[in-house]
């Protein structure tokens, strides 16, 4: 079994005071957990705060997006080295909110993936279908197109680099995000297995190693059933990552699974 990974996506929440309270609770609540990995993806202005508080802990931090360019006239954008300058090891990419609200596409998300790995960041690439696509039976078609965009963008050297950086994928059905409706463990397993097969088409060893997270109304009460599925390697947590006790409880569940 792959080592579990829990990632909190704070989205556009928090302020300097509430972050400090939350991060201090996480440091305290997670410090004795050694059998899984923990990450918080905070809004960019708080990266230095995350670095200052987390740098000697077992909690890593990351950004919620990155631009594909190294520098230039891209007002409001953040380059990959700007995240690594603040000690980020991870970055979320292709989140459905980026796709639907900010019009990012498979093409731009894949270009960002490429730029992220070239800067040494571990990408967490999000895929998932909308409710209409789900109801039309298009889940695998959509997920395949999102996965294949990344696979097609990376050349052999970049693919090797992505493996070395332990690239992560996340299945986040759009209909489950913030809705209180969680995918059933069986549905998540089918899609995660499908995603792993998609990676295996490119490289079988990589497919065995890559962690695939589930996201979408993940809470402490449903984490155990989801994490028990063989292809669910942890979670990408939105709302519940803002509640210290809830996030710690999810991390504690992940920590119970032994790596083999
Ligand atoms: P919720 O956990 O709030 O449903 O959000 C999931 C998500 O979008 C994480 O990236």
* Confidence (pLDDT) at 260: 67
129, 174 Cβ separation under 8 angstroms: yes
Percent of the chain with pLDDT strictly greater than 70: 100
Using alpha carbons only, give the angle 117, 122, 127 rounded to the nearest 5 degrees: 95
For 152-173, write each residue's pLDDT tens digit: 999 999 999 999 999 999 999 9
Q: How far is the CA of 216 from the centre of ligand 1 (A)?
A: 5
* Multiple choice CATH, 5-236, 3.20.20.70, 2.60.40.3080, 3.40.50.300, 3.40.605.10: 3.20.20.70
- Which residues are registered as beta bridge partners of 41? 9, 62
User: Is any ligand 1 atom within 6 A of the Cβ of residue 172?
Assistant: yes
51, pLDDT greater than 90: yes
Q: Which helix (H) or strand (E) holds 37?
A: strand 36-41
Residue 180, by phi and psi: left (phi above 0), alpha (psi -120 to 50) or beta?
left
Q: What is the dihedral of CA 99, 40, 22, 11, to 10 degrees?
A: -10
Closest-CA residue, ligand 1 atom 9, reads 238
Q: Using a 6 Å cutoff on CB, does residue 241 contact ligand 1? A: no
Residue 258 is predicted with a pLDDT of: 76
| 235 CB within 6 A, ligand 1 | no
- Judge residue 71's burial from the number of C-beta atoms within 10 Å of its C-beta, 0-12 exposed, 13-18 middle, 19 or more buried: exposed
pTM (2 d.p.): 0.98
Give the catalytic positions in this structure.
Answer: 95, 172
Q: Tell me the percentage of the chain whose pLDDT exceeds 90.
A: 98
pLDDT average, residue stretch 98-120: 98
- Asked whether 215 lines ligand 1 (CB < 6 A), one says yes
Query: 110: CA distance to ligand 1 center in Å?
Result: 21
């Amino acid at each position: 079994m792959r080592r579990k990974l829990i990632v909190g996506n704070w989205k556009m929440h928090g302020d300097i005071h509430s972050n400090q309270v939350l991060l201090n609770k996480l440091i305290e609540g997670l410090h004795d957990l050694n059998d899984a990995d923990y990450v918080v993806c905070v809004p960019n202005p708080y990266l230095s705060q995350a670095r200052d508080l987390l740098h000697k802990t077992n909690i890593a931090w990351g950004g919620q997006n990155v631009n594909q360019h190294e520098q230039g006239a891209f007002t409001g954008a953040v380059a990959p080295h700007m995240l690594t300058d603040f000690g980020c090891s991870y970055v979320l990419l292709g989140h459905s909110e980026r796709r639907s609200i900010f019009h990012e596409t498979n093409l731009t998300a894949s270009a960002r993936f490429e730029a992220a790995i070239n800067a040494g960041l571990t990408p967490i690439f999000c895929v998932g279908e909308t409710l209409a696509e789900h109801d039309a039976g298009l889940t695998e078609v959509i997920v395949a197109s999102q996965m294949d965009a990344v696979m097609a963008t990376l050349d052999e050297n970049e693919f090797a680099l992505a493996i070395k950086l332990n690239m992560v994928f996340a299945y986040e059905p759009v209909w489950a995000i913030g809705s209180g409706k969680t995918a059933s463990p069986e549905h998540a397993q089918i899609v995660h297995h499908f995603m792993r097969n998609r990676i295996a088409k490119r490289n079988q060893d990589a497919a065995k190693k890559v962690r695939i997270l589930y996201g979408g109304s993940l809470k402490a009460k449903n984490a155990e059933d989801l994490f028990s599925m063989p292809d669910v390697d942890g979670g990408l947590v939105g709302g519940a990552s803002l509640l210290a006790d809830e996030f710690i409880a999810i991390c504690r569940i992940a920590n119970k699974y032994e790596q083999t």
